Structure 1
């Protein structure tokens, strides 16, 4: 039995696949492309705002721009007044260029370049300071107004983290901020935490509230904390995910490639997106006392969150054209017109697991004519066909999918493979014009009075 992991049903996405638009766009571009759906982004952003409102907590949502380079999402943030999390000068310039106000930006990252700090300070952005050294560089900036900062705490639950300051360093940083007077406005604390578990976030958030109270004794403002991102996306059902993990093994992959369950993103999450934020707000730090939401309200502390993937759930997919198919013993190799650089999980010794959708260009019953070597095994033209998916480069390791996908028919040249729900980190994190192949364009699809309309995503020239 073929190993499958179907994505959650998505009628809106299915309507786009069935409408013929993707075939027209593939013909127009002559290569792979991504499509993005800003309306889905809007819905996800609204869900996070509702979670904050329901808890009675004052908060602000910052879109983690690193999750997708499309201008369309930043434009939506500018239009509705949402924040944007940037980590470099290019991202800062992009956000400002698309209308995001400086005061709606939070600047993260480890040791920030001098130019980034200078522009961020001049624009009134909030800077997450990662070290005492960085704080000194901020204090040396010449600006007409106080520089807004958060002090980032090292997460004790993740001793291997390279981010943040320990308790002694934070004490020194607070004293330095207090001594700096009007040169700096210390607005609170933040942390960078890997993974998706609720408990470590709740515990550390509770600690940051106590730090805010401590900082106020020194005369510092300290009225907000940032708990970053780490809100999971639920790609597939629990039933399909558990069945996949239980069944998968080397025989399911080209060249018997081996994956352990720890190599994979958790494609099913029982608590995801805005519901994960609700879970954080409802939990009690360190398992005692009032829930986090009540502690935030009582202390007058604002909650900042920086979701990336969770705001992009359902907000885009990636489309590749089939360039060729070859048969191997018991399965095939489909080669598409792009590379695995446009499906980033494969470049982290992992695999993007939701099943791609095959859009055929014609009836499946004629597909045996496309197979010069004749049937493989007992397959017929319209029978299930198992195949991995390779990229167009000359690298043996360039596979978009190592797994032998159970396609409903043998793909042929001109068909399309649509990888669903790739907007969050997948579609452009590692893209490169390798082999002088152009980067896949992004198409923005809008729905207006029952009609789908599209345009190219345009980004300002660098």
Structure 2
């Protein structure tokens, strides 16, 4: 694909573009389901749509009878419009607009209620309508993250449970949800174990309470352990253009020894503190369905971003490469972080081999902002890049490729190209069918 299709696409679009590999999404989804099956746990996977705007991943979720996690009316319309059943949608986020709540209830979506006033809006504000109850989870404020702006504390949860009972058939309280910052397994197991107990207590009160959502946060691994350790050890201003500095704590953990489905398996085999049983056993014994809303874990290796080199200038001991497009299409810089996987240099001409020896360079965008850098690090390329060469940033489908994109300088947003691969056939491409 790299030797022929990517240069053709770069020529056709005349600017940066992203390519998507939906087969990887299918593989990742299957692996998560296998982890659930291996632990004999009833579970359901929702794709966190905020991780990527492409329609193809929603289409794949629908085809595989998985769900989609949405947080806006537009995302809900996208999910429904691309074939996801209403009952396979979970609605998250704070202070939801009635324009989102109303169709969510009408289509039977599951709603993670973040606050008491939001619950009151569902019960008395009229978004439900008709004869369908509002299916809800109560979102819990994580005890280990008490300053989070999301979720309800113990007193608020107790009040919410009472209000759900008083609401009668207008509301069906199906369980609890949470989302933790970070990627550690044990805190998730601890809180999930606590919510299993809450489900049992809620059932005694008369609630359904048979579901727990652990949100996202399943890590993926962008690089090997040696590269990650080497990067951290050599992490200082000398290795960045203009002496740029970063805090290591701001970096995503780019290496993970047990990523994706393996992390889910580890979660299920963890014993919460004070328990003899694993989380999987607790869930089975309580007849609780485990819900999750992964983004990156479903998009691992599912896409990349391609930029064309416009020019190269030499500095003192390194170079500055300018590419078309902006760092808004590689969002990591806008989180005060550096994207660790090195871009791959593809020569403009297929027969153009490395010459002149290794060349160290940072990568900037074709804008008038000093800060608009795709890569501040001085990367070692096999040769000095030339105008017309391509730089391919790998594995950008999970949040990097479009969470911060905007038409800065009136530049068009990079198109998303779906690469369909059939066994024994050459790859074929098509534009993604995003409605917006």
Matched, 1:218 2:205: yes
Match of 1:161 in 2: 148
Match of 2:325 in 1: 338
Separation in 2, partners of 1:263, 1:208: 30
Match of 2:241 in 1: 254
Quick check: 1:70–1:457 contact (8 Å CA) kept in 2? Answer: yes
Match of 2:275 in 1: 288
Quick check: 1:203–1:286 contact (8 Å CA) kept in 2? Answer: yes
Deviation at 1:74, TM superposition (A): 0.2
Deviation at 1:287, TM superposition (A): 4.9
Q: Deviations over 1:264-305 (max 9, x none)?
A: 110001121011110110001125220000000000111001
Matched, 1:457 2:432: yes
Match of 2:306 in 1: 319
Match of 2:10 in 1: 26
> What secondary structure does 1:406 align onto?
strand
Match of 1:90 in 2: 74
Matched, 1:50 2:34: yes
Aligned residues: 431
> What secondary structure does 2:121 align onto?
helix
> What secondary structure does 1:438 align onto?
coil
> What secondary structure does 2:188 align onto?
helix
Match of 1:148 among 135, 154, 158: 135
> What secondary structure does 2:181 align onto?
coil
Match of 2:391 among 410, 413, 417: 417
Match of 1:120 in 2: 104
Deviation at 1:236, TM superposition (A): 0.9
Match of 1:139 in 2: 123
Matched, 1:432 2:419: no
Q: Deviations over 1:5-62 (max 9, x none)?
A: xxxxxxxxxxx32x31000000000000000000000000000000111111111000
> What secondary structure does 1:151 align onto?
strand
Quick check: 1:364–1:382 contact (8 Å CA) kept in 2? Answer: no
Separation in 1, partners of 2:83, 2:209: 28
Give runs of ≥4 in structure 1 deviating > 4 Å: none
Match of 1:8 in 2: none
Match of 2:226 in 1: 239
Match of 1:7 in 2: none
Quick check: 1:364–1:409 contact (8 Å CA) kept in 2? Answer: no
Q: Normalising by the residue count of structure 1, what TM-score does the alignment of the two structures yield?
A: 0.92
Separation in 2, partners of 1:177, 1:44: 37
Deviation at 1:384, TM superposition (A): 0.7
Separation in 1, partners of 2:430, 2:258: 34
Q: Deviations over 1:410-439 (max 9, x none)?
A: 111100000000000000000000000000
Give the superposed CA RMSD. 1.1
> What secondary structure does 1:448 align onto?
coil
Separation in 1, partners of 2:280, 2:168: 31
Separation in 1, partners of 2:423, 2:184: 41
Match of 1:75 in 2: 59
Match of 1:13 in 2: none
Matched, 1:198 2:185: yes
Match of 1:99 among 83, 96, 100: 83
Matched, 1:63 2:47: yes
> What secondary structure does 1:222 align onto?
coil
Matched, 1:129 2:113: yes
Deviation at 1:449, TM superposition (A): 2.9
Over 3 Å counting, the alpha-carbon distance change for 1:287 and 1:346 in structure 2 is farther
